[in-house]
Amino acid sequence: ARPALAAAGHREHGSMDVGVMPAAGKLGLASGLPLPALMRLPLERKDGALQGCLTAAAVRLPLLSGRPATEFWAYNDSVPGPAIELSEGETLNLRFDNRLPQPTTVHWHGLPIPADQDGNPQDPVAPGQGRDYRFTLPAGCAGSYWYHPHPHGHTSEQVYRGLAGVFVVRSRNDPLAHLPERWLVLSDLKLDDDGGIAASSDADRMDGREGQFVLANGAWRPRLTLGVGERQRWRIWNATSARVLKLALPAHEVWLVGTDGGLLERPRRVENLLVPPGGRVELAVTGRFAPGLPAGLLALPYARGKMMGPEQDKALSLAEVDAGEAVATAPLPAKLRRIDALPRPAVKRSVVFSENMANPAAMFLINGRTFDMDRMDFTGKVGAVEEWEIDNQADMDHPFHLHGTQFQVTERHDGKGWRREPYLAWLDVVNVPPGQKVRLRFRQDMPGPRMFHCHILEHEDAGMMGMLDVRA
Ligand code: C2O
Ligand code: CU
Ligand code: CU
């Protein structure tokens, strides 16, 4: 299969109040290509498991017309990496080979799998080495996940060079199985003047890295078709290092139907949605093409915290949507599934994000400390409900992420008062703006060390991470 980035061709694009990032045009990256389909990881059924092979290696992909190919680091030579799709109850047995010049791991972001299979930084795969990852997907975990490297100190670099892929778990009774699906992996691309992938600057390491381009399935502002009246199910991944994406499809009818850990209880009509780095949403999108409104998928302006100016005053177009033939609108079930609220917690903990710009060795802190691989920050128990209060005392947004399970946000404090979360959802990343707090509940069903960290990958690498030791 051809890597998504290998698609060729060019079409002009016109839009009104939608901006383009400064300098993006000059680099000559084509836009307006058809949305590339994601390559699938071939899986073979053997010994009660689905077996596949994943290799991380450098690869040159044609990116800019009239220039030499750009070096990426990719899984199976594809950017994004091959999509992995399994059903609840199935076992994956994956052979992984590291042909990168650095140690790496494969982390299965959001999946409830054993800690020793989860690609923690304590379990690196050295260059030239390999390992097997093997895990079974428990019942009830159907949803949109992803995989990416998680080596100590090099997660940002390995992800921005191209290493990330999606992982979809299907349920055998999926109330939305009748809808056609679109998968959109949003990633960030920062190029230097020679068309190579730029190294991160000091500012990137502080503010979070943002490039000149936000790509969808490896293409810049690609086009896709939505029938007039047609209802499609879109899964969207925010695989950027640091962008809090405020997504909108202003011309269309949009219902939020799922979050990181799968479907909501019922669809919710939305105008726009904040998707933090690492986060996912499932939408039911119906083509309405309301006149006068941009037809595409937009990222609306969003300033991350106080230290960042309003970096963009215009919406960015992430993908163009063309009107297809009129199609009868498929029904959207009123009930999607049942989610039980997690009961009262057995343990309460506080997680405080802070910044100390005066100390370059420990700028981003959790409870006053920087990450230490030899330190367990908390000790928990398998099966015990915990309530964590994430308190962002820093000057910018920090999206909180926890490994090994999904959580439910119960309340948010916007600086003035607490407000109950209006609906139940399973999440593994939640954005916490400066001066705000979030309360969430979770349960870990398997023992072992679980990382929690800011999902701005530059902050994670800088030590804004801790470990929860879950004991049997
Ligand atoms: Cu997606 Cu610990 O990360
Ligand atoms: Cu994760
Ligand atoms: Cu952060």
**294 CA to centre of ligand 1 in angstroms:** 33
Residues 144 and 221 in one domain: no
What is the reported pTM? Answer: 0.95
**109 CA to centre of ligand 1 in angstroms:** 5
Ligand located closest to 205 CA: 3
Residues 363 and 459 in one domain: yes
**344 CA to centre of ligand 1 in angstroms:** 27
Residue 361 has what pLDDT? 84
Q: Is the ipTM of this complex over 0.90?
A: yes
Ligand located closest to 207 CA: 3
3-state SS string for the chain: CCCHHHCCCCCCCCCCCEECCCCCHHHCECECCECCCCCECCCEEECCEEEEEEEEEEEEECCECCCCCEEEEEECCECCCCEEEEECCCEEEEEEEEECCCCECCEEECCCCCHHHCCCCCCCECCCCEEEEEEECCCCCCEEEEEECCCCCCHHHHHHCCCCEEEEEECCCCCCCCCCEEEEEEEEECECCCCCECCCCHHHHHHCCCCCEEEECCEECCEEEEEECCEEEEEEEECCCCCCEEEECCCCEEEEEEECCEEEEEEEECCCEEECCCCEEEEEEECCCCCCCCCCEEEECCCCCCCCCCCCCCEEEEEEEEEEEECCCCCCCCCCCCCCCCCCCCEEEEEEEEECCCCCCCCEEECCECCCCCCCCEEEECCCEEEEEEEECCCCCEEEEECCCCEEEEEEECCCCEEECCCCCCECEEEECCCCEEEEEEECCCCEEEEEEECCHHHHHCCCEEEEEEEC
Pick from 170, 193, 212: which residue ends a domain? 170
Residue 17 has what pLDDT? 54
Pick from 266, 297, 326: which residue ends a domain? 326
Residues 16 and 162 in one domain: yes
Spell out which residues have Cβ within 5 A of ligand 3, the ion.
398, 454, 456, 459
Residue 176 in domain: no
Residue 341 in domain: no
Residue 311 has what pLDDT? 54
In the chain, which stretches have pLDDT less than 50? Answer: 1-4, 6-16
Ligand located closest to 120 CA: 1
Ligand located closest to 242 CA: 3
Ligand located closest to 111 CA: 2
Ligand located closest to 458 CA: 3
Tens of pLDDT, residue by residue over 396-432, are 999 999 999 999 999 999 999 999 999 999 999 999 9
Residues 190 and 271 in one domain: yes
Spell out which residues have Cβ within 5 A of ligand 2, the ion.
109, 403
Ligand 1 binding pocket, CB closer than 6 Å? 107, 109, 148, 150, 278, 401, 403, 451, 453, 455
**89 CA to centre of ligand 2 in angstroms:** 21
**328 CA to centre of ligand 2 in angstroms:** 39
Residue 175 in domain: no
Residue 152 in domain: yes
Residue 2 has what pLDDT? 40
Residue 338 in domain: no
For residue 148, give the ligand 1 atom closest to its CA.
1
- Smallest CA separation from ligand 1 atom 1, residue: 109
For residue 453, give the ligand 1 atom closest to its CA.
2
Residue 342 in domain: no
Residues 317 and 191 in one domain: yes
Q: What is the CATH classification number for the domain harbouring 191?
A: 2.60.40.420
**464 CA to centre of ligand 3 in angstroms:** 7
Residues 159 and 265 in one domain: no
For residue 150, give the ligand 1 atom closest to its CA.
2
Pick from 294, 326, 358: which residue ends a domain? 326
Residues 252 and 108 in one domain: no
Residues 382 and 445 in one domain: yes
- State the Cα–Cα distance between residues 322 and 324, nearest whole angstrom: 6
For residue 109, give the ligand 1 atom closest to its CA.
1
Question: Sheet holding 143-148: strands in order across?
Answer: 84-87, 165-170, 143-148, 107-109
- State the Cα–Cα distance between residues 407 and 414, nearest whole angstrom: 20
Beta pairing class for 407-413 and 429-432: unpaired
Residues 209 and 307 in one domain: yes
Residues 196 and 313 in one domain: yes
For residue 278, give the ligand 1 atom closest to its CA.
1
Residues 99 and 64 in one domain: yes
For residue 460, give the ligand 1 atom closest to its CA.
2
Task: Count how many domains the chain has.
Answer: 3
For residue 465, give the ligand 1 atom closest to its CA.
2
Residues 141 and 213 in one domain: no
**147 CA to centre of ligand 1 in angstroms:** 8
Residue 27 has what pLDDT? 77
Kindly report whether the peptide bond that precedes residue 301 is cis, defined as omega within 30 degrees of 0: no
**427 CA to centre of ligand 3 in angstroms:** 18
- State the Cα–Cα distance between residues 122 and 48, nearest whole angstrom: 29
**149 CA to centre of ligand 3 in angstroms:** 18
Residue 294 in domain: yes
Q: Structural domain of residue 422, as residue ranges?
A: 347-471
Residue 255 in domain: yes
- Smallest CA separation from ligand 1 atom 3, residue: 109
For residue 146, give the ligand 1 atom closest to its CA.
1
Which of 238, 353, 388, 383 minimizes the C-alpha distance to 299? 238
**458 CA to centre of ligand 1 in angstroms:** 12
